Amino acid sequence: MKIYRLFATLALIGLMCVSAKAQDDEFRNEIGISYGFEPNSIWIDALADFVPDMPGQRVDNKKWFGPLGVEYFYHITPLVGVGGIFTTNISTEDLFSNDQLKVYRAKSFFSLMPSVKLNWLRKKHWGLYSKLAVGATFARIADKDYDEKGNKASKADVETDWGFNWQASLIGFEAGSNRVRAFAELGIGEQGVALTGIRCKF
């Protein structure tokens, strides 16, 4: 009976070593860059436009860049990765009051969100996953007044604020080699309701 127990113990240790080596052979780190569509900042900004700063004010010539995101994950297990996401969104617009050009406004949103990634289907060249991130956004609003000739002031009036933000990617798809993969996600949050990008594992 003692011999059977010895063999069983040795077999268990062997399986643990093989499992540990298999995990060591996998890439534990990954870094990615993404570009998305319709982030939280756009919706918050659109709601703010319903409350004009001045009577008779309207917004025109609005342009958006972003969300541009950078993310890092460390895989504590093949299933679970923990890390963080940084995103930036920038918008510019002209403010009119009673059809007169008054203010050039530039808005910048910078978000930092600790995150968790769940790789719930892992194949050699593709996979499916979900992702959740919760953090904060720093907002900067810079206004430059126009004079009567339409010249923009060189100095801006700046306001800043902080707010809660998140990203919930319900489903993500990635495909490529073991080391480099393209990906696309659907969800809601500061990275967007849809986003695409590329990531490198190492």
pLDDT at 166: 96
Quick check: 128 pLDDT over 70? Answer: yes
Phi, psi angle pair for 47, to nearest 5° = -65, -35
Cβ neighbours, 10 Å, residue 111:
27
Q: Is 96 exposed, middle or buried (0-12, 13-18, 19+ CB in 10 A)?
A: middle
What's the pTM value of the predicted model, to 2 decimals? 0.79
CA atoms within 13 A on the CB side of 172: 26
> What's the CATH number for 28-201?
2.40.160
Give mean pLDDT, residues 130-146. Answer: 96
